[in-house]
Amino acid sequence: MSRDRGRERESIQRGPNPPVRPDGGTESRSTWGARWAVARRELASLRSEKTIILALSIQLFIAAFSSFLVVGLVSLYDPGSVDGYQTEIAVTGDDTDTLLRVANGQDGVTAERYADRERAYDAFDDGSVSAVLDADRNPDGQLSVRAIVPEEGLRTTLLVVQIRNTLENVERVERQRNADDGRLERSPVPVPESIQASPYVGFTYTILLPLLCFLPVFISGSIVVDSLIEERQRGTLELLRVAPLSLAEIVDAKLVATAALAPLQAIAWFLLLAVNGTAIAAPVALVVLVAALSLLVVTVGVAVALWAPDRRQAQLLYSMATVGALVVATVLPEHPANTVAKFALGNPTAATWGLLAAYCLVAMGAFLALRRGIGGLEPDAL
């Protein structure tokens, strides 16, 4: 306890000492030093409150839980991903040839023909088969199948998925036969053989990776909103202005310090993903993208914090603006998340590169506009 207090005092001492301009130093070097002090103070407060650790663990938590969810759901819907799962199905009815052939050709399913319906249902009741497929041909020539499955929760889910896959294959075979008989105007395109492929690739690149790129950006913006509003409400911004810095320079320092956090976190996530076997094709482009978005969002955050009257409204405006921007971004030729996925997969198009350049330009433009706006701002009005 006393150790904590001591550390806090120490960090206060290291804080924003308004540096006296060194006699020999030139004007520009001393403002750079002062800016560096402001930026360092900003980062130090993040460190001493352990906010940054909380921020990282939140992101890790979200990533872990969304992966947990996806792995769970995929294994629920893709019985093939559960090893050694074997289902026995009883097939009965008038027209079972195709059904039997297809079902026995499928992994994880064993189908047995029961000539007698009663026996098939008995086998279902005493548990020696998992499901009964009762197939008849109707007058239209369609194969009408009644599938009986037990009410057993999780196992039923797997079973129903297996039955669906089997029947879809049957449908494909029957359809092809109809096409060969000339009953269809256009023949269906043959479906390629199925292979073993990781079902998580789509999720990793289109959801998880964009999430890990955008969360740090969102968090950086949120930090800067809080930091500025707090200085305004507690009145410490006035103290800061004793420093040999203009308001624009103080804001600058805070802005750059927090905006730089996002690409650093993104790099950390990329490394973590690479260790876990998810290769990222164009990491440099992605880091540039995150940096540009971070600069843009943090600039918006600063503007909101200087403009809104108190924290509640600032946070509301900021979160509405960022969430809204993600929705509005769908009118772009590519959603930013899609841009991330394309860079990570290594399939960028001209539009992808163009958008990256556009984000950089917009971010720089917003930053310059904000500087100009702050230059015209009356500091005492805050």
Residues 194-223 that bind another protein (CB under 8 A): 194-199, 201-202, 205-207, 210, 222-223
- Give me the least distance between CB of 11 and another protein, in Å please: 12
- Measure Cα distances from 152 to 27, 160, 166, 207 in Å: 78, 11, 20, 32
Q: Is 15 in the site for another protein (CB under 8 A)?
A: no
Q: Which is nearer to another protein, 31 or 225 (CB)?
A: 225
Of 44, 247, 267, 321, the one binding another protein by CB under 8 A: 321
Q: How far apart are the first and last CA of the chain?
A: 37
Cβ count within 10 A of residue 60: 13
Is 142 strand, coil or helix? coil
- Give me the least distance between CB of 245 and another protein, in Å please: 21
- Give me the least distance between CB of 97 and another protein, in Å please: 14
**Cα separation, 347 vs 340, whole angstroms:** 10
**Cβ neighbours of residue 182 under 8 Å, at least 6 residues apart?**
none
Q: Which is nearer to another protein, 54 or 271 (CB)?
A: 54
**Cα separation, 322 vs 220, whole angstroms:** 12
Of 27, 118, 378, 380, the one binding another protein by CB under 8 A: 118
Q: Which amino acid is it at 278?
A: T
- Give me the least distance between CB of 22 and another protein, in Å please: 32
Is 217 strand, coil or helix? helix
Vertex 87: Cα angle to 85 and 93 (nearest 5): 165
Of 160, 247, 264, 360, the one binding another protein by CB under 8 A: 160
**Cα separation, 55 vs 57, whole angstroms:** 5
- Give me the least distance between CB of 24 and another protein, in Å please: 38
Of 315, 356, 367, 370, the one binding another protein by CB under 8 A: 315
Stretch that binds another protein, among 22-30, 246-254, 318-326, 368-376 (CB under 8 A): 318-326
Q: Which is nearer to another protein, 26 or 201 (CB)?
A: 201
**Cα separation, 135 vs 147, whole angstroms:** 9
Q: Which is nearer to another protein, 49 or 238 (CB)?
A: 49
- Give me the least distance between CB of 317 and another protein, in Å please: 6
Q: Is 236 in the site for another protein (CB under 8 A)?
A: no
Q: Is 261 in the site for another protein (CB under 8 A)?
A: no
Backbone CA torsion sign across 258, 259, 264, 268: positive
- Give me the least distance between CB of 164 and another protein, in Å please: 5
Of 36, 168, 239, 361, the one binding another protein by CB under 8 A: 168
Q: Is 11 in the site for another protein (CB under 8 A)?
A: no
**Cβ neighbours of residue 290 under 8 Å, at least 6 residues apart?**
213, 216, 217, 262, 263, 266
Q: Is 361 in the site for another protein (CB under 8 A)?
A: no
Q: Is 90 in the site for another protein (CB under 8 A)?
A: no
Q: Is 379 in the site for another protein (CB under 8 A)?
A: no
Within its chain, how far is the Cα of 147 from the centroid?
38
Is 278 strand, coil or helix? coil
**Cβ neighbours of residue 362 under 8 Å, at least 6 residues apart?**
292, 296
Stretch that binds another protein, among 239-247, 343-351, 356-364, 368-376 (CB under 8 A): 343-351
- Give me the least distance between CB of 90 and another protein, in Å please: 13
